[in-house]
Amino acid sequence: MNTPNKLTILRMIITPVFLAVFLLDFPYHILAATIIFCIGSVTDAIDGRLARKNLQVTVFGKLADPVADKMLTTAALLAFMHTGLCNIWIVMIVLTREFAVTSIRLVASAQGIVIPANMWGKLKTVSQMTFTIVILVLYQIHESFNIFPADGTFTLPFVSNLLLWITAVLTVISGIIYVVQSSKLVDFSQK
Question: What span, in angstroms and rounded, lies between the C-alpha atoms of 149 and 129?
Answer: 25
Residues 6+ apart with CB under 8 A from 24: none
Measured between alpha carbons, how far is 21 from 119 in angstroms, rounded to an integer?
32
Residue 79, domain member (yes or no): yes
CATH for 18: 1.20.120.1760
- Structural domain for 100, as ranges: 3-183
- Whether residue 112 lies inside any domain: the answer is yes
Per DSSP, 152 falls in state: S
Is the pLDDT at 191 greater than 80, yes or no? no
What value does the CA radius of gyration of the chain take, rounded to a whole number of Å? Answer: 18
Question: Which has more confidence, 111 or 87?
Answer: 87
Would you say 37 and 72 are in contact if contact means Cβ atoms under 8 Å apart?
yes
Contacts of 93 by beta carbon, 8 Å cutoff, 6+ apart: 168, 171, 172
Domain count for the chain: 1
At 134-145, the pLDDT tens digits run: 999 999 999 999
Share of the chain above pLDDT 90, in %: 71
Write the pLDDT tens digit of every residue in 6-53.
Answer: 999 999 999 999 999 999 999 999 999 999 999 999 999 899 889 889
- Is-contact 128 75, C-beta < 8 A? no
Considering the domain boundaries, does residue 12 fall inside one? yes
> Residue 187: its pLDDT value, please?
84
Which candidate, 52, 61, 187, 45, places its Cα nearest to that of 126?
Answer: 45
Q: What is the pTM of this model?
A: 0.93
